[in-house]
Amino acid sequence: MTESERAAVGIEGFADGTRYQTARPGYPAAAVSHLVQYLHIESTTRVVDVAAGTGLFTRELLPFTSHVVAVEPGPGMRDEFAVQLPAVEVFDGAAENLPLANASADVITVAQAFHWFDADTALEEFARVLVPGGGLGLLWNERDESVEWVDAMSHAILWHLKKPYDMATDFKAILERGAFVDVEKCAFKNSQLVDRFSLHQRVLTTSYIAVLDATEQRKILDDVDDVVASFDETFDLPYVTTTYCARAAR
């Protein structure tokens, strides 16, 4: 699959912005605080949130700076973003071709999306848009597969066969070859309180599942139900939130 084909699958798989907004977990305060401190985000800092989706991470930036804009290629995501954060400007654009001027941002953030990019092209574009020495923050919420039932759920949703990226990927070397320095990786515990309906909605926001027909989706959801059959009405879905912080070479 080419990079353009992968991007198209990502956009199609994330077409339902409303479902994504309600079903995906937020980000732990410790991870947000770490990024803000490392990247020196203050009241005058100009931040671009790339592949911002519905604004789940964008809203975490707003208590620290009002100078935030977003870039998002998916129309369904942009529509929901406008509902959630009407005061924040969101541009139609991709990470590999940002609709922004040279050296127009102090910080770029990417939440739950960098694995969809042509990494080398995107990093070159980030370096163009950032001021010299500008900050880059990446983060992911990833299911904590060290928990037995979560690992079983990953198999039920066919992650081992269909995954768009390997959750074990270490992006440090990728960032460093893109002329970013001082790369730091950290991990934080996170969890999402779910019931069976909201767990179904979370599963259905998985890109390769979202594009399946209803019969195929039903089979996956039934397999997920088998994993959690003995659980209480509500329960925690554990995640690990992984962050990468770096600076553009001067």
Question: What is the C-alpha separation between 43 and 92, in angstroms, rounded?
Answer: 25
pLDDT in tens, 12-43: 667 789 999 999 999 999 999 999 999 999 99
2 or 160, which is more confident?
160
Q: Note the helical H segments in 14-89.
A: 17-23, 29-38, 58-61, 75-84
Question: What is the C-alpha separation between 99 and 50, in angstroms, rounded?
Answer: 11
pLDDT in tens, 38-87: 999 999 999 999 999 999 999 999 999 999 999 999 999 999 999 999 99
pLDDT tier for residue 9 given thresholds of 50, 70 and 90: low
Whole-number Cα distances in Å, 232 to 125, 148, 149, 195, 197: 47, 17, 14, 8, 13
- In degrees, to the nearest 5, what angle opens at C-alpha 89 toward C-alphas 46 and 142? 75
Question: What is the C-alpha separation between 247 and 127, in angstroms, rounded?
Answer: 9
pLDDT in tens, 203-237: 999 999 999 999 999 999 999 999 999 999 999 99
- Checking if the pLDDT of 248 tops 60, the result is yes
pLDDT in tens, 86-125: 999 999 999 999 999 999 999 999 999 999 999 999 999 9
Question: What is the C-alpha separation between 173 and 161, in angstroms, rounded?
Answer: 25
Instruction: Write out the H or E segment, with its range, that includes residue 120.
Output: helix 119-129
pLDDT tier for residue 1 given thresholds of 50, 70 and 90: very low
Give the mean model confidence (pLDDT) for residues 236-240: 98
φ and ψ at 216, to 5 degrees? -65, -40
Domains recognised in the chain with CATH numbers: 3-143+167-191+238-248 (3.40.50.150)
Contact yes or no for 75/16 (Cβ under 8 A):
no
Contact yes or no for 72/94 (Cβ under 8 A):
no
Give the pLDDT of residue 4.
Answer: 53
6 or 77, which is more confident?
77
